[in-house]
Amino acid sequence: MSEKNREIQAMETGRPGFESVEKGMVSIHGSIHRLRKMSGFSFLILRTAHELIQCILEPEKCEILGPDGAPWEGALKEEMCIRMEALAVEEPRSRTGWELHPARIRILSVPAESMPVVIHGKEIPASLETILDYRPLTLRNERERAIFRIQDALVRGFTEFLQQEDFVQIHTPKLVSQGAEGGANIFRLDYFGKEAYLAQSPQFYKQMMVGVYERVFEIGPVFRAEKHDTARHLNEYTGVDFEMGYIEGFEELCCMEEAMIRHALQKLPELCPQELKLLNVRIPQADPIPFIRFYEAKELIARRFNRPVREKEDLDPEEEKLLCQLMEEETGSEFVFVTHYPTAKRPFYAMEEEENPQVTKSFDLLFRGLEVTTGGQRIHDYAVQLSKMKARGMDPEQFESYLQIHKHGMPPHGGLGMGLERFTARLLEQDNVRRACLFPRDIHRIAP
Amino acid sequence: MSEKNREIQAMETGRPGFESVEKGMVSIHGSIHRLRKMSGFSFLILRTAHELIQCILEPEKCEILGPDGAPWEGALKEEMCIRMEALAVEEPRSRTGWELHPARIRILSVPAESMPVVIHGKEIPASLETILDYRPLTLRNERERAIFRIQDALVRGFTEFLQQEDFVQIHTPKLVSQGAEGGANIFRLDYFGKEAYLAQSPQFYKQMMVGVYERVFEIGPVFRAEKHDTARHLNEYTGVDFEMGYIEGFEELCCMEEAMIRHALQKLPELCPQELKLLNVRIPQADPIPFIRFYEAKELIARRFNRPVREKEDLDPEEEKLLCQLMEEETGSEFVFVTHYPTAKRPFYAMEEEENPQVTKSFDLLFRGLEVTTGGQRIHDYAVQLSKMKARGMDPEQFESYLQIHKHGMPPHGGLGMGLERFTARLLEQDNVRRACLFPRDIHRIAP
């Protein structure tokens, strides 16, 4: 078998574009991604589910049929969906090492208008706003769609790892009667005459489920009504959440996350080699991820960059970048766990350090300059949780169903939530998190 | 190695409860599920993530330490979380064939109050309402939690199958500017001063993504503001949705679903054998699933049960049951595809039959008397879609971003949406779909 045929057979396996290979003839379907008329022939780029394939179309050698099966009198157009029978021919100058010479094209659908944006170049020559306005079309660009194949591969890797570690996948409600994270950034709606909210995280529910299965995870939408209009915020994002019981410290959560990330990154080259190459992805090392305490990190940044500390109890975006830069220089790691965040900045369910209740047994994971995960150990004792809520001026009666678990026995436990789009964006070194979200939602955008 | 040790080692593999096995001693953690005092000893049932394990506790042979590590002066209580070192002893009368004799118990947490419902029997002796009110606790019952391990296994099976078939998993927005299914059953909310809705399905988005990857799927929440208060309706449920391009007819979608269901059902005994046994699950055959046209089904039911036809263009719940009964008698299948639903009852994107535009290229899948899936081929031609919308009095401008795909080239395509809770409920022969939903949402319930 020639090299060419082996490649085509490899492509055929489990891929819907290819349907038969017979004496060098293939039957294949896809969209006309690009069409360029030359003298006597046309270059046609066929976009299948996985590849862009170069085709040489010689009008006199190819029969063209319309959607009704009758000979097609008109011209071919970009974004037509077609099925073709073609001869596969070796062609070292093409990207795949071969090309197709169509003998028969059946047009399956004819676009009504030509494309409003050019999608067949490497990059789309348009602003992010325009790219997002035409998202159903611009995702057909090969680089755009590569992003979400890589995101899919990440989700596969995370899921596979968590299942191997005995986590049960759960589906918890997004319509809720209390917010878990507090604050103003919550969407409200009318639920048959009652006020309801959109879940800011599966926090309460995953904790409840620790009492049932010990280890659970969920990958699903999370809603934040934040008015931030930045390159790092989305108002709806995909949370990768896990929660586990019988831990002896929050460090176990970090180790679990490190192993989960490592597993997913290791799987990428197997699941989407073409896409990694196309986007020139630098896969980071996550072995091991260094730790630094929050206050140490603050001090270090202030000292090394001679920078006044403005916000005492949080890292600002610039500090996250500087810290990552520092840690990479010192340890070679592009990830860093920042631990022991101030109690004042963490939610009411965060467990405090016994020796110093001003800080919590919590952490953020920073990756290439951006916070991508927040996690920590939770309070499991009823009396402790109750007194902390009261100290914060919260009404425990409002949280009655959540507090059932504390009242009736919970193991020491904790967990974390990762933002899938943020993780993807940093992995692919995209400047804006919107680029790693299929249909982003922000303060100005709710369509498409 | 004795039978007992082999079993324990098997349990140990990848399961967080067990931590070491050494000369017959195991270190294990879990909750005290049940405690019964006898003369001179106690029966203690330990609930781990997977099992209920019988333990014989002889006070003089067991050291008990409190959460602080000091000797525990009080009594043990149900729902305490504990870690124990114990001797594993063969005991043919126990469910597992062996039991544990604890030598050391470390209490990790002490419940504040005793349980408001009895969860350690086979069934919980309470109404469904009470079971749902105390859901975080009642899910600790072994039969309740078995339901959702089986649901998890189904999701794993569906996902694995779709990935093998080259479907890409997507995450589409739940905050949308248009409803896909139309009608009044849509939740509204304020989105930074604009009106927004909760997605009734990922319909528009999965169609858009067919133009990108050809085959996509999503498993995520779906919101329906229906006021039905029945055993078959939820206001938020988990949709298993897929959509595929380059189909030649809707029958391909049915075949794909049949194969997906078959794959998932075949995997169940491997993923959750104990749970299947506990719930006495009858796994149905899905090979092959019979087809019947909608009007034939209506007629058949009317004739065989001598039943007047009330609703001409839909099957009512009673008819769904009768049809399943009939089909099972005639074909042995507990599934049936009902095809060619009337156009009037299908959404605006449903493709009509060329020969008879009164019916659509669509189907429902019924399973043990209940509709569990709706699917069909979609309109891909812009002019056809536009004229159908206009005929229905819809304003195409409202759907501008959706119609981008029709305007700029879409292959013939279709897909389906399955209700995960409905499928699970019918598989487990639960009378109410709420029993197959972790935290159900209905017209009266939004907590826990």
Cβ within 8 Å, pair B187-A188: no
Pairwise CA distance, residues B189 & B198, whole Å? 8
Structure tokens given for A310: 């403005």
Cα angle: A182, vertex A206, B220; to 5 degrees: 95
Q: Are strands B63-65 and B98-109 parallel, antiparallel or unpaired?
A: parallel
Structure confidence by residue, pLDDT tens digits, B386-417: 999 999 999 999 999 999 999 999 999 999 99
C-alpha separations of A7 from A18, A89, A90, A96, A99 in Å: 12, 11, 11, 9, 11
Q: What is the pLDDT of residue A19?
A: 57
Candidate from B16, B194, B244 with C-beta closest to A214: B16
Q: Which of B175, B204, B384 to mutate to test the interface with A (most CBs of A within 10 A)?
A: B175
State the first-to-last Cα distance of chain B, in angstroms, to the nearest integer: 47
Which spans in B284-365 are helix H? 294-304, 317-331
pLDDT of residue B309: 85
The residue among B130, B214, B275 with the most chain A CBs within 10 A of its CB, best to mutate, is B214
List the beta strands (DSSP E) in A41-122.
42-47, 52-57, 63-65, 81-90, 98-109
Q: At which residue do the structure tokens 């506790």 appear?
A: B57
- Nearest CA to CA, how far is B416 from chain A (Å)? 18
User: Using the beta-carbon criterion (under 8 Å), do B137 and A405 form an inter-chain contact?
Assistant: yes
Q: How far is B255 from B247, CA to CA, in rounded Å? A: 11
CB-CB neighbors (< 8 A) of B221 in chain A: 171, 173-174, 220-221
The nearest CA of chain B is from the CA of A337 a distance in Å of 25
- Looking only at the bridges linking them, the beta strands covering B63-65 and A98-109 are unpaired
Return the SS3 of B129.
helix
3-class secondary-structure state, position A351: coil
pLDDT tens over chain B, length 448 residues: 344 444 455 454 445 556 555 557 899 999 999 999 999 999 999 999 999 999 999 999 999 999 999 999 999 999 999 999 999 998 889 888 889 999 999 999 999 999 999 999 999 999 999 999 999 999 999 999 999 999 999 999 999 999 999 999 999 999 999 877 777 799 999 999 999 999 999 999 999 999 999 999 999 999 999 998 999 999 999 999 999 999 999 999 999 999 999 999 999 999 999 999 999 999 999 889 999 999 999 999 999 999 988 888 999 999 999 999 999 999 999 999 999 999 999 999 999 999 999 999 999 999 999 999 999 999 999 999 999 999 999 999 999 999 999 999 999 999 999 999 999 999 999 999 999 999 999 999 999 9
Report pLDDT for A329: 96
Using CA atoms, how far residue A351 sits from A156, A384, A407, B111, B391, in Å, is 31, 9, 16, 18, 60
Answer whether A87 touches B (CB < 8 Å).
no
Cα(A185)–Cα(B223) distance, integer angstroms: 21
pLDDT at A287: 87
* C-alpha–C-alpha distance, residues B102 and A173, integer Å: 39
B99 is written with which tokens?
């039991």
CA distance B188 to chain A (A): 7
Phi, psi of A334 (to 5 degrees): -90, 0
Query: DSSP class of residue B354?
Result: S
Dig out the tokens for A242 from the structure. 């896990």
Q: Does B255 touch chain A (CB under 8 A)?
A: no
CA A114 to chain centre: 31
10 Å Cβ neighbour count for B254? 22
A377 pairs with which residues across the strands? A414
Phi, psi torsion values for B105, nearest 5 degrees: -125, 130
A367 Ramachandran zone, left/alpha/beta (phi>0; psi -120 to 50): beta
- Interface residue B89 vs chain A (CB under 8 A): no
Q: Which residues of chain A have pLDDT under 50?
A: 1-7, 10, 12-14
How many CA atoms, within 13 angstroms, populate the side-chain half-sphere of residue A141?
A: 24
Rounded Cα gap, residues B367 and B211, in angstroms: 31
* DSSP annotation of B60: G
Rounded to the nearest 10°, the torsion over CA A325, A327, A331, A337 is -130
Per DSSP, the three-state class of A363 is: strand
- For B11-143, strand residue ranges (E) read 18-22, 25-37, 42-47, 52-57, 63-65, 81-90, 98-109
Residues A335-353, buried b or exposed e (16+ Cβ, 10 A)? bbbbbbbbbebbbbbbbbe
Contact B242, B167 (CB under 8 A): yes
Residues 8-47 of B with CB under 8 A from A: 14-17, 29, 31
Give me the pLDDT at residue A3, please.
47
Q: Which residues on adjacent β-strands are paired with residue A211?
A: none
Q: Are A170 and A216 in contact (CB under 8 A)?
A: yes
Q: Residue A2: what pLDDT?
A: 46
d(CA A131, CA A144): 10
Contact B310, B316 (CB under 8 A): yes
